[in-house]
Amino acid sequence: MLQKYTTPDSANGYAQLAADVLARAKVCGATEADIVVADGETLSVQVRVGTVDRLTKAREKRLGLRVFIGKRSATTSTSDFSRESLERLVEDTCTLAGAVVEDDVSGLPDEAQMAKEQPNLDLYDETVLDTETQIDWAKRGEAAAFALDSRITNSEGAEFDSSSGRVVLANSHGFVGSYKSSNFSLSVSPIAIESGTGAMQRDAWYEVQRKFARLASAESIGQEAARRAVRRLGARKVATKRVPVVFDQETAGSLLANLCSAVSGYGLYKRASFLLDKLGQKIACDLLTVYDDGRMVGGLGSRPFDGEGLATRKNTIVERGVLKSYLLDTYSGKKLGLPSTGNASRSVGESPSVGPTNFYLVPGLKSSQEIIGSVKEGLYVTELIGFGINMVTGDYSRGACGFWIENGELAYPVEEITIAGNLKQMFKDIEAIGSDLVFRGRIASPTVKISEMMVAGN
Amino acid sequence: MLEPVQLAKFGVTELEAQHALDRLNVRDVDYADLYFESRTSESVSMEEGIVKRAAKSVSQGVGVRATAGEKTGFAYSDELTKKDLEVAADTARYIANSPKGDSPVPVPTQRRPTRDLYPIEWAKAEVATADRVALLNEIDAEARRYDPRIKNVMASFNTEYKVMAVATSDGTLVGDIQPLSRLQITCIAEDRDNRQVGSFGGGGRVGFEYYREDNRHLSYAREAAREAILNLSAVDAPAGVMPVVLAGGWPGILLHEAIGHGLEADFNRKKTSAFSNLIGKRVASDACTIVDDGTLPFRRGSLNMDDEGTPTSSTTLIEKGILRRYITDKLNARLMGIPLTGNGRRENYQSVVLPRMTNTFMLAGESDPQDIIRSVKKGLYAVSFGGGQVDITNGKFVFSASEAYLIEDGRITTPVKGATLIGSGPEILTKVSMVGHDLKLDNGIGTCGKDGQSVPVGVGLPTIKIDEITVGGTQR
């Protein structure tokens, strides 16, 4: 195999290290193998009520190895890159692989499928922030929250994190890929106190960017956090009833994350998804179109190749309500008789699984105001808590807080209620999709309205 | 008897540790520590009737911390050279911003943990991968034998062997070996278009033999299969406020979410908890006495000492309904001027210490569990739960049932689908009107998440009756 991709960033020697380990694995009897090496640096600053609360600094590196001996496979990882440690790791991995059962569909992807090019997706910013700058950002964010409203009298703090790192993936087909990425984030978590009762409410706002220069101002993030905390004061329970439910961007994003899990190949071949055998069928209302785009420039979920070295791409998951594609890696694809969609996700110490890249719901035409305005009586959800989702059946029951809608307006804040339904029906019952799509993570959604759900309270 | 863990295990000399601590000794630093950790994790997992995956991971590193007033400086490294320790120490002391202190750091004295809650002979014994594979194969066969409608069995067996040592500026050097293992089983049952899931598991700071004792692994398999089959006939859960009876054991997750987190000292020092300023006040009915106890042998949440070297203890959080204590780490105990409870825990060397729960449970009461059920005219009986979550600040918590039944006229009747229960932490325990004499601890499956860090914990509960709580089903 002569196909070899060198990248300017392989100068740190990880590509050579990877090649050495792969060669060693072959000597120990591996028929195929791949290796991931990741390193990174982080600086995290937390400020609380105007003073530094916690400062964390670290450098890390880790190496993960997967070997195949015929159809048997095992995975190992270590942070110790010394020669003796790596030799022991290779031997351990081969011994482990020898002890498990043959799995007919296991193996690396075909050589011909490996990514041919590695486009620069603009994921890395070489800006290195010093500690003082980060402290200043966090302090300004928190101060802006305190300044916005006199009812903000306490805080869980503000946190500014910066991190950067590199990933190198290599396999016994001769593939070597590498990319660098960075993240800059600010979050502010103020606490509002109601003067009469002393009741407290917390909320938070945050932003994450690949590039430092693209972050919104510390002040705007702090102010939004304060607005969100203050508007929750005076929250009450409501009576149990069926009503329309509007999910804001954050909570609609969590519904989309549920959809993402349901179309993941691993849940499907294990028969543990409520969307089993639904490919090509109508699973949602006509308004719903969902893409997963691994090549979005500067995207928080973008990467030039996936966790197995296959090119990432833009997949249409749902088109006008029809399920068009699952999210697959090589293994789960083979189990389902389908090709990989380039969604292998790889954490260093584990065999590949499936993960989204930039998974988003295509925005509609209505503003969130118009959507709320369309509801005579209902719930606007701004936060969901708990784990009451059954991925096998789609049964859904979660704790919620937000606002009660009366005659198209937010009337008062509500809490200590649950919303319940079944995801299969909820996606069909989507009645409106907002125009307000913003990426704050790898899964993003505009405002979504569901025609009816059970709200349990008093 | 426990052998003391030597720093040499991490390739570090006591002198190097002493030097690093000395470097942290600047005037405003109140406390500093070096936490050394080496961890080996192994797992095997099965699905579709075959053990497909085996994995092993090894990690080692040091976390260096200094605290000054409320401030914490923290750095960690996966390299353990003298230079790395120095760099980490310099980062950690950055927060103090003051000149070198006058008084010398005491030389850490090596001591042994005062307890031996999980003798490690078991965990030390090498278990061949083939034996782990055989265990999972037997589980698969047992679950499928339980009922032909069991169509898939997913099982995993995980073990962790952690060696840690902590050297502190208050003069202690102490180490511990902390084994941990867990067996988890999930079954999928299918009957035509109806597909349901059931799961069960257990473990603790125990060795491989534990799972084969009295064929414990097979009983876990049957439990997971039973829950999946039961759910095939479950009807939609009711919605609204009603009496709920919680079975003993794992439903103790109620205590963990509703009050445990709210009693962690950090939130109370910052006055961000719904329980701030409630010490000495009534937060539960007379029938409720709740403890956090890290000293129970072999339990998943137990530790000989916490991650700051403080021996764990049994702390009474709520005594006959009155709030008595918060759980503390060194930083928060010092700042609040309250006792150290040995609850300073961290996920690993890469994480900072936070006050965390160990095993949290309610002591047994006097009621007969049958009488508790009989006292409910119309309500819910919840036996098993998935996860839970709490908003510390407003005190609202949720936890989601995975096995539950209707109670009608004092009798347990139809199984219902899982539903989330939601309530308010400082209020819910005031509505506990009956406490059974049947205290049960969970099987050893709990993992608690806080601030992005996961640590193993335990919970426990006798059968209790909550007079009213909101049940988040779909049916009126």
The enclosing domain of A35 has a CATH number of 3.30.2290.10
The H helix count followed by the E strand count for chain B is 11, 23
pLDDT at B107 over 80: no
Separation of alpha carbons A244 and A250, rounded Å:
18
Q: What is the pLDDT of residues A191-207, one digit of tens each?
A: 999 988 889 999 999 99
Does A220 share its domain with A251? no
pLDDT at A4 over 70: no
Neighbours of B329 (CB within 10 A): 26
Kindly report which listed range (A307-311, B145-149, B276-280, B336-340) carries the lowest average pLDDT score.
Answer: B276-280
Asked whether residue A2 is assigned to any structural domain, the reply reads: no
Residue A420 tokens read as: 């319940």
Cβ atoms of A55 and B91 closer than 8 Å: yes
**Helical (H) or strand (E) element with B266:** helix B265-269
Confidence of residue A6 (pLDDT cuts 50, 70, 90): very low
Asked whether residue A145 is assigned to any structural domain, the reply reads: yes
| C-alpha distance from B83 to closest chain A C-alpha (Å) | 14
Does A257 share its domain with A133? no
Separation of alpha carbons B78 and A59, rounded Å:
8
pLDDT at B332 over 80: yes
Minimal-distance CA residue of chain A relative to B45: A100
Separation of alpha carbons A156 and B1, rounded Å:
44
Q: What is the pLDDT of residues A238-253, one digit of tens each?
A: 999 999 999 999 999 9
Q: Does A327 touch chain B (CB under 8 A)?
A: no
Report helix, strand or coil for B246: strand
User: Which residue is listed with tokens 């110790």?
Assistant: A80
| C-alpha distance from B245 to closest chain A C-alpha (Å) | 19
**Model ipTM?**
0.92
Minimal-distance CA residue of chain A relative to B74: A56
Question: Higher confidence at residue A43 or residue B113?
Answer: A43
Q: Which of A100, A240, A401 sits opposite B52 (nearest CB)?
A: A100
Question: Where along chain B do the CATH 3.30.2290.10 domains lie?
Answer: 7-232
| C-alpha distance from A44 to closest chain B C-alpha (Å) | 10
Chain A residues within an 8 Å CB radius of B197: 272, 390, 392-393
pLDDT for position A9: 44
pLDDT for position B43: 94
**Residue finishing a domain among A227, A248, A272:** A227
- Cβ neighbourhood burial of A258 (10 Å; 0-12, 13-18, 19+): middle
Does A380 share its domain with A414? yes
pLDDT at B124 over 70: no
Does A196 share its domain with A241? no
Asked whether residue A3 is assigned to any structural domain, the reply reads: no
pLDDT for position B88: 79
Phi/psi at B254 (5° precision): -55, -50
Q: Does A84 touch chain B (CB under 8 A)?
A: no
Separation of alpha carbons B328 and B355, rounded Å:
5
The reply to whether residue B52 touches residue A191, judged by beta carbons under 8 angstroms, is no
Q: What is the 3-state secondary structure (H, E, C) of chain A?
A: CCCCCCCHHHHHCHHHHHHHHHHHHHHCCCCEEEEEEEEEEEEEEEEECCEEEEEEEEEEEEEEEEEEECCEEEEEEECCCCHHHHHHHHHHHHHHHHHCCCCCCCCCCCHHHECCCCCCCCCCCCCCCCHHHHHHHHHHHHHHHHHHCCCEEEEEEEEEEEEEEEEEEEECCCCEEEEEEEEEEEEEEEEEECCCCCCEEECCEEEEECCHHHCCCHHHHHHHHHHHHHCCCCCECCCCEEEEEEECHHHHHHHHHHHHHHCEHHHHHCCCCCCCCCCCCECCCCCCCEEEECCCCCCCCCCCECCCCEECCEEEEEECCEECCCECCHHHHHHHCCCCCCCEECCCCCCCEECCCCEEECCCCECHHHHHHCCCEEEEEEEEECCCECCCCCEEEEEEEEEEEECCEEEEEEEEEEEEEEHHHHHHCEEEEECCCCCCCCEECCCEEEEEEEEECC
pLDDT at A3 over 50: no
Asked whether residue A276 is assigned to any structural domain, the reply reads: yes
| C-alpha distance from B50 to closest chain A C-alpha (Å) | 6
Per DSSP bridges, beta strands B71-77 and A51-69 are parallel
Neighbouring residues of A2: CB distance < 8 A, sequence distance ≥ 6 = A174
Does A166 share its domain with A275? no
pLDDT for position B16: 87
pLDDT for position B419: 85
Does A63 share its domain with A167? yes
Separation of alpha carbons A153 and A193, rounded Å:
7
Q: Which of A57, A131, A395 sits opposite B418 (nearest CB)?
A: A395
**With a CB-CB cutoff of 8 Å, which residues 71-100 of chain B face chain A?**
71-78, 91, 94-95
Closest by alpha carbon to B330, among B338, B322, B321?
A: B338
Does A210 share its domain with A249? no
Does A312 share its domain with A416? yes
pLDDT at A5 over 70: no
The reply to whether residue B239 touches residue A418, judged by beta carbons under 8 angstroms, is yes
Q: Which of B71, B91, B186 sits opposite A53 (nearest CB)?
A: B71
Confidence of residue B27 (pLDDT cuts 50, 70, 90): confident
Q: Report the pLDDT averaged over residues B328-342.
A: 97
Residue B136: HSE in the Cβ half-sphere, 13 Å Cα cutoff:
29
Domain containing A177: what range? 8-227
- Give the CA angle between residues B457, B458, B460 to the nearest 5°: 155
Rg (CA), chain A: 24
pLDDT at A10 over 50: no
CATH match for B7-232 among 3.30.2290.10, 3.20.20.70, 3.90.100.10, 3.30.450.40:
3.30.2290.10
Q: Report the pLDDT averaged over residues B417-434.
A: 93
Separation of alpha carbons B177 and B113, rounded Å:
10
> What b/e readout covers A136-160, taking b as 16+ CB neighbours within 10 angstroms?
bbbbbbbbbbbebbebbebbbbbbb
Question: Higher confidence at residue A349 or residue B41?
Answer: B41
Closest by alpha carbon to A234, among A368, A454, A412, A15?
A: A412
**Residue finishing a domain among A181, A208, A227:** A227
pLDDT for position A2: 33
Does A266 share its domain with A359? yes
The reply to whether residue A420 touches residue B422, judged by beta carbons under 8 angstroms, is no
pLDDT for position A7: 38
Residue B249 tokens read as: 């054991």
Separation of alpha carbons B460 and B363, rounded Å:
9
Chain B residues within an 8 Å CB radius of A240: 239-241, 476
pLDDT for position B149: 98
Chosen for mutation from B48, B193, B391 (greatest number of chain A CBs closer than 10 Å) is B391
| C-alpha distance from A117 to closest chain B C-alpha (Å) | 31
Bridge partner list, A170:
A35, A176
pLDDT for position B24: 85
Asked whether residue A189 is assigned to any structural domain, the reply reads: yes
Closest by alpha carbon to A414, among B390, B419, B396, B418?
A: B396
Question: Higher confidence at residue B86 or residue A318?
Answer: A318
Chain B residues within an 8 Å CB radius of A426: none
Residue A355 tokens read as: 């993960």
In single-letter form, the type of residue at position B430 comes to: T
Chain-wide mean pLDDT for chain B?
Answer: 92
Q: Give CA B72 to chain center in angstroms.
A: 24
Does A241 share its domain with A223? no
Chosen for mutation from A68, A104, A454 (greatest number of chain B CBs closer than 10 Å) is A454
In single-letter form, the type of residue at position B20 comes to: A
Chain A residues within an 8 Å CB radius of B270: 48, 154, 156
pLDDT at A159 over 70: yes
| C-alpha distance from A415 to closest chain B C-alpha (Å) | 8
Separation of alpha carbons A350 and A357, rounded Å:
18
The reply to whether residue B472 touches residue A418, judged by beta carbons under 8 angstroms, is yes
Confidence of residue A314 (pLDDT cuts 50, 70, 90): very high
Does A17 share its domain with A122? yes
Asked whether residue A281 is assigned to any structural domain, the reply reads: yes
pLDDT for position A13: 83
Asked whether residue A159 is assigned to any structural domain, the reply reads: yes
Q: Residue B234 to residues B152, B284, B403, B405: CA-CA distances in angstroms?
A: 20, 33, 9, 8
Which 8-state DSSP code applies to residue B177?
E
pLDDT for position A176: 95
Q: Does A390 touch chain B (CB under 8 A)?
A: yes
Does A267 share its domain with A359? yes
Crossing angle of the two packed helices B14-23 and B82-93, in degrees rounded to 10: 20
Chain-wide mean pLDDT for chain A?
Answer: 94
**With a CB-CB cutoff of 8 Å, which residues 102-161 of chain A face chain B?**
102-103, 106, 131, 154, 156
Asked whether residue A107 is assigned to any structural domain, the reply reads: yes
Count how many domains chain A has. 2
pLDDT at B28 over 90: no
